[in-house]
Chains A and B, each alone.
Chain A
Amino acid sequence: MSNSHPDMLALITTLKMAGLTTVILMLIGTPLAWYLAKMQSRAKVFIEALVALPLVLPPTVLGFYLLLLFSPQYLPGQIWQQATGQQLAFSFSAIVIGSVLYSLPFVVQPLQKAFEQLGDDLLEAAAMLGASAIDRFFTIVLPITKASFITAASLGFAHTVGEFGVVLMIGGNIPGETRVLSIALFDHVEAFDYAQAHIISISLVICSLILLSLIYLLNRPKKSQPVLSKRFS
């Protein structure tokens, strides 16, 4: 397959979309998850429900409302157009924003669980020894919850690669911009081009299987410290 092959282009667009979405999700999802894990207020359940909402809404429904919001008819679309000079609907930015919303629970939920299980004593001790909040995050929180970060990022990425409904509604099937693999795959099936559809499906399944297996391999809990056990045996 050459670089100009339409399915190759769709693959590149997909990877760009999923990559950028994952980066944004980690940047937004981490503070949000921390806030939810440490929050005491009653508003917490409401925000939790809000984050989980994309799990309930059918993607095409979510996509339909995003299409309305992104159109120049409504405020978000207007603001975007004024700020960037470009229309939001049917653009690469639109499918990234859609994916961020759609994959948000897959990133926030594992991180929130990890932060909730993190005891306060370590952090308090570190604070007393004078470690700043940023220090505490990078030297204590991150190493302890590393596995959950990997899970969150990989789920966010994988879920975005597999996304169809939202992109279908707000993408508009523009080659090199919004035509992602799942859309190309759907086109092939609808056009009776099953051979090409099978090729994409199989490569998608194999790549995802390898990627996910690698992540779970890296993420495997380490055998309980051999040094200690040797000493006590």
Chain B
Amino acid sequence: MALMLAGIFTRFLLIALLMLPVSLVAAKDMVSVNEAPLRIAVASNFAPTLKQLLARYNPNQKQFLAPILIAASSGTLFLQIEHGATFDVFLSADSERPQLLSTSDLAVKDSLQTYAFGQLALWSAKGHIDSDLLVALNNNKQRLAIANPRIAPYGKAAKQVLESLQRWDDYKNRLIQGINIGQTFQQTRSQAVNLGIVSNSQLVLNNFKGVLISSHLHQPIKQQLVILKHSKKIAQAERFVTLLMSKQAQQFIVESGYASSSEISANE
């Protein structure tokens, strides 16, 4: 009898133990769906600006919790999202990938927006270059670093700039191609290459000055975002996007070295 009681007791205990994780998960879900911070997948080139922007405009986490930023190349983040990575918002360095996510129904409908326009600059870490873009390009007899035009939006735009100025044929056999604009900046900064077409935001961030490249020489580098459909924090994600698209945040982004949308629309 005692044995049987003990048996029942053990069984009860076992069931209780088995149920424990279930109840914990349920309790956690109830609190955390709204409370957990956003996971934002952000293209590496925008990550520093985003960090500063969040510190400035959401310091007390009143609108949303301090998000977790996952910074990598847009291509890598896109692949991860396609294969089930649990991000809430995707800030890409291009427009192609967010649009693909929209059409393949992985993004929240109508969440696609342009949050920044890339601004190119010609820059040398070695010293002075002519302030006239064409003269500076003509003076350079050595190699030129650009991001890979085939895979990086800033590289595609850099190629368009060289084509617009009819310098592509001159340069196409002496290009150093970085996998993304971050690598191009690094290669130019190391002085391993004399001259590079880099992103102005990298120069602003590091207090360097280059020759700004007018955005009418290339198609706009639209950096777009989407909210991801499987997110369980869509309301919080929308608050984040509202902040990012607000007038003050957009102004801050332009000050950080991106092109302003008014300049772009003037060219279009």
Contacts and interface: CB of A to CB of B under 8 A. Distances in A.
B150 A71 contact: no
Interface residues of A, number: 22
B52 interface: no
A110 B148 CA distance: 39
A187 B187 contact: no
Q: How large is the interface on B (under 10, 10 to 19, 20 to 34, 35 or more residues)?
A: 20 to 34
Given A64-B186, A67-B186, A172-B187, A190 B179 contact: yes
B267 interface: no
B191 interface: yes
Contacts of A89: 190, 192-193
Given A173-B176, A189-B75, A190-B179, A90 B151 contact: no
A170 B79 CA distance: 26
B148 A71 contact: no
Given A72-B192, A190-B75, A191-B150, A67 B176 contact: no
B231 to A, nearest CB: 24
A73 interface: yes
Contact of B148 (A77, A90, A173): A173
A71 B186 contact: no
Nearest to B100: A192
Secondary structure class of chain A's binding surface, majority of residues: helix
A70 B148 contact: no
Contacts of B177: 172-174
A93 B179 CA distance: 21
Interface string A45-85: 00000000000000000001001101111000100000000
Contacts of A67: 186-187, 190, 192
Nearest to B97: A192
B232 interface: no
Shortest 5 CB-CB contacts between residues of A and residues of B: A89-B192, A71-B192, A172-B176, A190-B151, A173-B177
Interface of A: 64, 67-68, 70-73, 77, 87, 89-90, 168-170, 172-174, 186-187, 189-191
Given A173-B148, A173-B178, 18 more contacts: A64-B186, A67-B190, A70-B192, A73-B191, A73-B192, A90-B192, A168-B179, A168-B183, A172-B143, A172-B145, A172-B176, A174-B176, A187-B148, A187-B150, A190-B75, A190-B179, A191-B150, A191-B151
